[in-house]
Amino acid sequence: MQYIIPRDDTSSRSLSLPERTFLRNAARGVSSSAGSILRLDGRAPSEARPIRLSFSRCHNRAECTVQLGNGTRSAASVRAELVPPPNADRPNDGQVKFGVEVGPMGCMGYENTVPISNYAVGESVDGGQAGSGGGGDVPYIQRLMANRILRLLERTLLIGGSIDAEALCVQSGVWVWRLHVDVSLLDDGGNAMDACVLAAVAALRHYRLPEVSIGGDGDDVETSEAVSSGYQETNIIHSDDREPTPLPLHHTPLTATFALFADETGTTTAVSALLDPYDREELACDGLLTWSFNKYGEMCCVDFPGGCELRPRQLTASSNLGKRRCIEICELLETALEEAE
């Protein structure tokens, strides 16, 4: 049995100057006599950590846990509830609510805080709008990571058109499904973005939407009066009584993240891009670049907050590598879902 030893990262995930210098020189090939890029875990620059997926499912709920190597772990759960349509001008559109929790479970230096969501507290908005984010006394790194994960989920799954909101309609103008996708970072060993997106997408693929019974026997006098008045009784049928159906997902978008290391002296414009960085590489790098592709090789999203300059050829090279990596993860996900059924 394999055990994960908790890391002592109470220093709020900081790097000493010698460690930062060593990591940057190794990532740029300065520390090697042959000029090759070195990584502390022995991986090549374009090599990712192995991925392990575990699934569980019950009535109206599905969960998925993702582990990258021996460091990063994330979990996502999906459930649904019936709600009235939130927008009168779109009576057939359902809702998708994302919640992201980045707390002390993932890192000892993080504070205990309320999960952020794309729905403001007490507010009912459609799935494409932004809502509440982290704030208060939450550390900046923790708040920034949670918000980046949330926005990437929104842009990849909602704005990217992966989830069909109209397919979540049960009865036009009366009932629609609201999906709750809750993502938790269990262990922040680096590249939490890819782990959380993969957990959310895998949980959505593994989830089964229960059937709904609307109205009753039309021969009943009371039922006929209720139907004529506009009210119909709606019941969610248990999955043991009737087979649930998969969610109507148009495609499966996944992400690939690179850590970028530029030349601090400015003598060259070359930038080293390390695929699937671990936590120390993320702290030493100049910026992060995240690509999102589906299994057909179609680009769904790109997230580049900045940090260093990238030439067009460098951007194209990282895009091609990210596309291949996303297609590989899609194939791995399809195999894992088949084994879980």
| pLDDT tens-place string over residues 274-294 | 999 998 898 888 989 999 999
Where residue 218 falls among pLDDT bands split at 50, 70, 90?
very low
Residue 138 pLDDT: 61
Where residue 256 falls among pLDDT bands split at 50, 70, 90?
very high
pLDDT (mean) for 117-143: 55
Where residue 231 falls among pLDDT bands split at 50, 70, 90?
low
List Cβ neighbours of 233 (8 Å cut-off, separation of 6 or more). Answer: 214, 215, 216, 226
With a cut of 50, say whether residue 224 has pLDDT above it. no
pLDDT (mean) for 118-146: 58
With a cut of 70, say whether residue 2 has pLDDT above it. no
- The mean-pLDDT minimum among 9-23, 71-85, 125-139, 301-315 falls in 125-139
Residue 8 pLDDT: 45
With a cut of 90, say whether residue 194 has pLDDT above it. yes
Distance separating alpha carbons of residues 181 and 247, to the nearest angstrom: 13
List Cβ neighbours of 11 (8 Å cut-off, separation of 6 or more). Answer: 109
- The mean-pLDDT minimum among 6-15, 33-42, 126-135 falls in 126-135
Largest CA distance in the chain: 88
Q: Give tens-digit pLDDT for 155-188.
A: 999 888 888 888 888 888 888 999 999 999 999 8
Distance separating alpha carbons of residues 182 and 200, to the nearest angstrom: 8
Distance separating alpha carbons of residues 237 and 112, to the nearest angstrom: 37
E-state strands within the chain: 51-58, 61-68, 72-83, 95-101, 116-117, 169-171, 175-187, 208-209, 212-214, 234-236, 245-246, 254-262, 271-275, 287-293, 299-303
- Indicate the pTM of the whole model: 0.85
With a cut of 80, say whether residue 319 has pLDDT above it. yes
Amino acid of residue 276: D
Distance separating alpha carbons of residues 49 and 173, to the nearest angstrom: 47
The gap between the terminal CA atoms of the chain, to the nearest Å, is 25
What percentage of the chain reaches a pLDDT higher than 70? 84
pLDDT (mean) for 94-102: 91
DSSP 128: T
Provide, for the chain, the percentages of residues in helix, strand and coil under a 3-state DSSP scheme, each rounded to the nearest 5.
25, 25, 45
Q: What are phi and psi of 325, to 5 degrees?
A: -65, -40
Residue 182, strand partner residues = 77, 99
Distance separating alpha carbons of residues 104 and 88, to the nearest angstrom: 41
Give 310 or 330, the one with higher predicted confidence. Answer: 330
Residue 275 pLDDT: 94
With a cut of 50, say whether residue 151 has pLDDT above it. yes
- The mean-pLDDT minimum among 21-30, 179-188, 325-334 falls in 21-30
Give 121 or 332, the one with higher predicted confidence. Answer: 332
With a cut of 70, say whether residue 86 has pLDDT above it. yes
With a cut of 70, say whether residue 305 has pLDDT above it. yes
Residue 32 pLDDT: 56
With a cut of 50, say whether residue 141 has pLDDT above it. yes
Residue 5 pLDDT: 45
With a cut of 90, say whether residue 225 has pLDDT above it. no
Integer angstrom CA distances of residue 139 from 15, 110, 148: 16, 7, 14
Residue 51 pLDDT: 95
